[in-house]
Chain A
């Protein structure tokens, strides 16, 4: 489904974020990308989202080279992905409910579907009571859950989660991971970037470990070893 071939990303002038990274992700797989802060985890997700362009190498998504994707094809790619950003990236001028509706409307979902699915997802992420609040009125944990809800509302093929538990207490962390596992069991591919050792070890899923931009380990099942 996803293939990285010798991907290198250099930020000018000479900062190497990712170097010669190659791996593949199969459909319905749950892959964790582990590594210290600055190891290149977020850069890999940004490259997959075509938020950044690689300096060298190719990335294929369903047979299409997205390292050379045209601007007009970006919506096609991004509608198939659901991303949980490290800094949430919720629309500040819209409520939690509207943030989810917005994504549904982008993919031209009917009003009937929107009215049915959004309350369900709000229930799943535990934000029914906060549906009409704006992001500025939510706590860190609530923002994180709103971002997860928005990422999965349109049933994407792949969920990209960049440190989705970074601002959560252990109780909510466990809930979020359970949620990601459940989404994966329902057939959605999940790519989780985290430096949380405990989460990775408890998952018992494939782990790609990065160090200074290079893949130093790719094991299934894997553990957090650095």
Chain B
């Protein structure tokens, strides 16, 4: 058993090395496929980042009556922070609201004149609430309306902003679904390419397989070396792909960060290097072996 395995490994390596041009073209196709997987992994990161940024733009505001005390509002903030659906709560005092308003409209003389005419600070203190998911805003709004401090609330702007919130989350969800679908189609194309390439390289050995059978080789003794070649192709393609992507990510990272500030592709690549390496190795070796198995099976039937 051990001797047979040793001989299968020897023939696998021998055939891989002797048919260097065929092996090289299989590795090339596999590198293309693994590059696609790497690109998908990285673009998935970019998508996630984009969706997160989009979702961070959505919140609801709870405005409190003029006569509400700051201590009471801060108490309500504490209570809200304990709700599992609430991701973040921010208190905006009357003064801060005015400051924000002035900063936003300082160049609009008509609004600034109106503010002076009204006199004092007409704005209300508020709490900005960010939930984890779009559906949770309705629950949070319902909770506020029925809570013990409902009387202190002047208005909740959830109903006015509901269409915007729903739209943003629907876009996020579409981006996610689209990404998955796109990845799936590309992966399918890549898999069929590699199957075709390995199939072609084994077709090259069709006559040899026939001779091996005629001199009494068992199916395993014939199939084994092709599986070993599949493993070698997967391994070398993985190493090559990572050697290509490591410097590529390094050089592109800065440019991507200009487009999407805060997204560090190179950092992601380095921090997840071993995960990416093993995903590639599993894909490369797995696909190499499965496609070899299927292609040889045709000639062993």
Selected contact of B3 from candidates A74, A76, A108, CB within 8 Å: A108
The answer to whether B212 and A75 touch across the interface, beta carbons within 8 angstroms, is no
Does the CB pair B211–A93 fall under 8 Å? no
Q: Which of B19, B215, B218 contacts A102 (CB 8 A)?
A: B215
Known contacts A93-B15, A93-B18, A108-B4; A78 and B208 CB within 8 A of each other: no
What's the nearest-Cβ distance from chain A to residue B65, in Å? 87
Contact count A vs B, C-beta below 8 Å = 48
Stretch at the interface among A27-35, A83-91, A188-196: A83-91
B140 to chain A, nearest CB (A): 68
Q: Is B258 an interface residue (CB 8 A)?
A: no
Interface string of A44-85 (1 = CB under 8 A from B): 000001010000000000000000000000111111010101
* Chain A interface residue number, banded: 20 to 34
Complex contact B211–A90 (CB within 8 A): yes
Q: Quick check: is A19 within 8 A (CB to CB) of the other chain?
A: no
Contact of A93 among B208, B210, B216, B218 (CB under 8 A): B208
B221 touches A106 (CB 8 A): yes
Is there contact, CB below 8 Å, between B216 and A92? no
Residues of A within 8 A of B207 (CB): 92
Nearest-CB residue, chain A, relative to B210? A89
Q: Which residue of A is nearest B15, CB measured?
A: A93
CA distance A83 to B210 in the complex (A): 14
The prevalent SS among residues of A at the interface is mixed
B216 and A106 form a contact (CB under 8 A): yes
Q: Which of B196-217 contact A (CB under 8 A)?
A: 205, 207-208, 210-217
A74, B213: Cβ atoms closer than 8 Å? yes
Max count, chain A CB within 10 A of own CB: residue among B213, B217, B221: B217
Cα distance A51–B7 when bound, in Å?
Answer: 26
The answer to whether A75 touches B208 (Cβ under 8 A) is no
B3, B15, B216: the one contacting A75 at CB < 8 Å is: B216
Instruction: Decide if A103 touches B4 in the complex (CB within 8 Å).
Output: no
Which residues of chain B are near A81, meaning CB under 8 Å?
Answer: 216
**Measured between alpha carbons, how far is A36 from B217 in the docked complex, in Å?**
32
Asked whether A78 lies within 8 Å of B18 as measured between CB atoms, the reply is no
Check A78 against B7 for contact (C-beta < 8 Å).
no
List chain B residues, Cβ under 8 A from A105: 7
Contact A150 B215 (CB under 8 A): yes
When the two chains form their complex, are residues A78 and B3 in contact, meaning their CB atoms are under 8 A apart?
A: no
Q: How far is the CB of B236 from chain A (nearest CB, A)?
A: 20
- Nearest-Cβ distance from residue A192 to partner chain B, whole angstroms: 18
Report how far A105 CA is from B215 CA in the complex, Å.
11
**In the bound complex, how far is the Cα of B36 from the Cα of A61, in angstroms?**
56
Going nearest first, the 3 A-B pairs with the smallest beta carbon separation are A78-B216, A79-B216, A89-B211
Which residues of A approach B to under 8 Å, CB–CB? 49, 51, 74-79, 81, 83, 85, 89-93, 102-103, 105-108, 110, 150
**Sample of 9 more A-B contacts, CB < 8 Å, known A81-B216, A102-B217:** A49-B214, A78-B216, A89-B211, A92-B207, A93-B18, A102-B212, A106-B215, A106-B221, A108-B4
Query: Which residues of B are in contact with A by a Cβ distance under 8 Å?
Result: 3-4, 7, 15, 18-19, 205, 207-208, 210-218, 221
10 contacts between A and B (CB under 8 A): A76-B216, A78-B213, A78-B216, A81-B216, A85-B214, A89-B214, A102-B217, A105-B7, A108-B3, A108-B4
